[in-house]
Amino acid sequence: EAQVTQNPRYLITVTGKKLTVTCSQNMNHEYMSWYRQDPGLGLRQIYYSMNVEVTDKGDVPEGYKVSRKEKRNFPLILESPSPNQTSLYFCASSFGGGSNQPQHFGDGTRLSIL
Amino acid sequence: QKEVEQNSGPLSVPEGAIASLNCTYSDRGSQSFFWYRQYSGKSPELIMFIYSNGDKEDGRFTAQLNKASQYVSLLIRDSQPSDSATYLCAVSQAGTALIFGKGTTLSVSS
């Protein structure tokens, strides 16, 4: 089954404790992206990657890191999480090396930073 | 800062009516436009996408682009209670980033 898999689905943690949210897709998609969704602010792009070793900042990259060492994986790293990073996070992927194709979304990761 | 704007709603329509959702975008060079549906607590799912070369119809859904006025619309014919959700408009920015509107909540009453 074609899918984008995020882990964990839910996480409650404390300020300053490094965490990684994994994202993996099995569709051989070139483009991958991370979003956060907050009430009243909608979906905002954090980082995107157009292919292996190619990443770029979206609208709200502060406090986040990403890497794209393999085509299928695109982890989101919070080096020193803070309460303002409490949010619902989505990973997505699409065919082709840009954002011109429809994106497939993972099921989301709900992060709470205390 | 490129922007995509949607009326937050709620847009309320009776079952069987036509629901019309609109989205305006600021980047005149945008060429790819997407409509996603999102149920509460779920991930966005693609409804329609169009490119700058024309409108598109798929079953009960029609997506239309007005490049001169820089807006995209989604028409839902014969609206059903199951169409009640938040509809997100997204616009590709130079084929790299993807900008989403904040979404319009649609409520279809039976």
The stretch B4-9 carries a mean pLDDT of 92
Q: Look at A48 and B101 and tell me if their CB atoms are within 8 Å.
A: no
Close Cβ partners of A77 (under 8 Å, ≥ 6 residues apart): A18, A19, A20, A21, A64, A65, A66, A67
Q: Does B46 touch chain A (CB under 8 A)?
A: yes
B53 touches chain A (CB under 8 A): no
- Give residue-wise pLDDT tens across range A75-114: 999 999 999 999 999 999 999 878 889 999 999 999 999 9
The DSSP result for A21-53, as a single string, is EEEEESS--SEEEEEEEETTTEEEEEEEEEETT
Nearest CB to B43; choose among A44, A50, A90: A90
> What's residue B25's pLDDT?
95
Q: What 3-state DSSP class applies to B98?
A: strand
CB–CB of A42 and B92 under 8 A? no
Distance from CA of B10 to the nearest CA of A (A): 13
Q: Is B61 on the interface with A (CB under 8 A)?
A: no
The per-residue pLDDT for A97 is: 76
- Quick one: pLDDT at residue A2? 85
Cα distances from B74 to residues A59, B40, B47, B50, in angstroms, run 25, 20, 9, 11
What is the structure's pLDDT at B8?
86
